[in-house]
Amino acid sequence: MPLERIGNDVKSIEITNVEIKESKVIIEYILNDDDKEKIKISYFSYDECPLEVGKVSVEDFNKLIKEENKNIIKNYISDLLVKRPYSKAEVLTKTYDKFDYLEEEINEVVKELEEVKLLDDQDYVTIFLDHFNGAYYGKYYIINYFKEKEINDVYIDSLSFPIDLEKEKAHKYFEIIKNKYVSNNIIKQKKKISEQMLKRGFDLEIIDDVISTLEIDETKEKELLKKDYNKALQKYKKREDKDNLIISYLVNVGYKLGDVEDYINSLKNEENNK
């Protein structure tokens, strides 16, 4: 847990004992000649701001407290970065949430980590760009993702999305999802695939190009139309205007008006020829 700084109401601090135990240092001290206290800090903090037995200033004591808190923050951020890459904005948000009263220390730690490239938004962009390209995401999804992570516009504007790569990703993603919607008629299939590819961040022109390769199984389309027609017939069979209602229903679920009318006329012809 972070340590609290000594307040301005304290007039004097006297360190009575300093005990070094492996990586920890235990400091015993007296505030205002009567309040006995004890803190445990890391050796790294003490090595950076060593204090000896005897009278010390509030300023020097708080320097040690600040150094310890910075090390606590640094360890917290390091634990985050071990698990996965984080953007600077993500790190700041999570760290402010955890240590909301240590804004100065947090900003200093983040700056130090940036200077030694342990926290680097440019590396973050490179890592996640490779990930998203490998997982077949389009450029708009990628750009929006980096904007949400508050990546500097300089890095975002420098991104390149070659058209051939975007088409390749789109076709590969299409191959993954196209069979999810085969139980639907061809128009509904195209609509659902288009929606998924838009969510994935692909350009409309590329989506249209990809969807145009979707093959139509005429036999299956007729079977689906028959199935949906019978469903609509059961729904509206008692209505006087059932023919118009059936046509509206079938058009709404994705069939072309001409195909619907042709199918209904073929049924009427079959009935008349009996």
pLDDT, tens digit (0-9, with 9 covering 90-100), for 101-142:
899 999 999 999 999 999 999 999 999 999 999 999 999 999
Count Cβ atoms within 10 A of the Cβ of residue 42 and give its class: 0-12 exposed, 13-18 middle, 19 or more buried.
Answer: middle
Residue 179's CB is within 10 A of a number of other CB atoms, namely 9
Would you call 13 helix, strand, or coil by DSSP? strand
CATH number of 163-211: 1.10.10
Separation CA 221–CA 223 (nearest Å): 5
Q: At residue 75, what is the residue type? A: N
Token output for 243: 């023919």
pLDDT band with cut points at 50, 70 and 90 for residue 185: confident
Token output for 251: 């058009």
Q: Locate the domains of the chain by residue range.
A: 13-84, 163-211, 218-272
pLDDT band with cut points at 50, 70 and 90 for residue 91: very high
Beta bridge partners of 37: 29
pLDDT at res. 62: 92
Q: Are 233 and 247 in contact (CB under 8 A)?
A: no
pLDDT at res. 233: 82
Separation CA 194–CA 163 (nearest Å): 18
pLDDT reading at 170 higher than 80: yes
Q: Could you say which architecture CATH assigns to the domain 13-84?
A: Beta Barrel (2.40)
Beta bridge partners of 28: 17, 38
| Domain 13-84 identical in fold to domain 163-211 | no
pLDDT at res. 224: 77
What is the tens place of the pLDDT at every residue in 206-247? 999 999 988 776 677 777 778 888 888 888 888 878 878 888
pLDDT reading at 274 higher than 70: no
Separation CA 247–CA 169 (nearest Å): 38
Separation CA 21–CA 11 (nearest Å): 29
Helix crossing, 88-98 with 58-83: angle to 10°? 130
